[in-house]
Amino acid sequence: MNQTDIVELRLNNQYLLGEKFNTPQEAVLHLGAVQSQDYFGASWSLGQRVENATAETIEQAFNEGNIIRTHVMRPTWHFVAPEDLRWMQELTSSRVKQFMGHYNRKLELDDVLFKKTTTAIIKLLKETQFATRQEIKKVLTNIGITTDVQRLAHIIMWAELDAIICSGPRIGKQFTYALVEQRIKKHEKLTRDEALAELTKRYFTSHGPAQLKDFSWWSGLTIKDAQEGINMVKSTLKEDTIDGKTYWFAKETEQTTKTRLDEAPTKRAFLLSIYDEYTIAYNDRTALSGENYIEKMMSMGNALTAVMIFEGKVIGTWKRLIKKNTVEITLNPFKKLESTTHEAFEQAGHDYGLFLNLQTKII
């Protein structure tokens, strides 16, 4: 196996090539979790992996609770399948809480206050079923709790990490919260070992080939726990060493990749969010870009949020501008594109327009 094999296997295992899933929930179940602080970027991430998906079908799945958006694993939003939320939070939330501890102390947030705020949020949601962030803020303000932007974000996140609340449907353009017990039916409880084994297998099946440190970073687990997870499911994984780095991936995916890639369309150009699982889910991103383009762009924060991928590699950035009936897509390749490559990105742009149900203009 070489660097080219790594990106081919990842494109396949992440279902960016070959057959697609039938529903957004199937895609999320396969990937384990999909980073979604950029809700619309994450919707497009799912859209590229689901057959005949549109922004409307992803939104419908979200509003119906077939996919849930919450803070899990790392201190950011992810889409997760409803049946995974409880065990995943129980496995990973303690690490996220440790990370938040320093900031909570600076914000004068502690267990006593969190108990009070969570009780108030539960009471509100039992009365209303769904509530926006501003409605939660109002209730907390009424009981004398200061809720600037940061404090409110941490208060709500803490209730998410305890699997008390999760996303409700969008009302207009507003996101809402709901009680987990009302939004998600009970599922069989997993032991810690079962949960760790499941998360490990899910990651390497959907994101492999990947390294131990990639899994640790993606999941938020310690290196020790991540290694324990690998040891638990090692019989289902294949190990390979490239340039002195050890990679793991599911044995079953190696056996099916050739068939899937042979049957895949010729598409090799992708317009991705920089937070797509293909780009974000690894600590070591050298397989995507030997020139460290990804790291350079991430260091710019929200200035650059979308990347051009060709043959599995980052080759530029792109921006969108939505007008009344049109989405304008500006391509910014790092080097001038060959005509066939440019045509491939034009097609990727038109696919995005179809996803949004808008005409596409490529600039």
Q: What is the pLDDT of residue 58?
A: 98
Q: Please report the pLDDT score of residue 169 as a whole number.
A: 98
Confidence of residue 75 (pLDDT cuts 50, 70, 90): confident
d(CA 313, CA 340): 16
Question: How many Å apart are CA 17 and CA 123, to the nearest integer?
Answer: 46
262: pLDDT strictly greater than 70: no
| Predicted confidence band of residue 265 (pLDDT cuts 50, 70, 90) | very low
Q: What percent of the chain has pLDDT over 70?
A: 92
Mean pLDDT of the chain: 93
pLDDT at 148 over 70: yes
- What is the pLDDT, as a whole number, of residue 268? 87
Per DSSP, the residues of 191-211 read PHHHHHHHHHHHHHHHH-SB-
Q: Residue 289: pLDDT band by 50, 70, 90 thresholds?
A: confident
Phi–psi pair at 52, nearest 5 degrees: 55, 30
CB contact set of 24 (below 8 Å; sequence gap of 6+): 46, 50, 53, 57, 58, 61, 62, 66, 67
Mean pLDDT of 170-190: 95
Summarised one tens digit per residue, pLDDT across range 204-257 is: 999 999 999 999 999 999 999 999 999 999 999 999 999 999 999 998 766 565
Residue 151 has pLDDT above 90, yes or no: yes
Q: Is the pLDDT of residue 39 over 60?
A: yes
**pLDDT surpassing 70 at residue 339:** yes
Return the number of other C-beta atoms located less than 10 Å from residue 205's C-beta.
20
Residues comprising the chain, all counted: 363
Nearest-angstrom CA–CA distance, 179 and 2: 47
SS3 54: coil
Judged against a pLDDT cut of 50, whether residue 13 lies above it is answered with yes
Give the model confidence (pLDDT) of 300-325 as tens digits: 555 567 999 999 999 999 999 999 89
Say what the pLDDT of residue 252 is. 78
- Which of 154, 65, 35 shows the shortest CA–CA distance to 106? 154
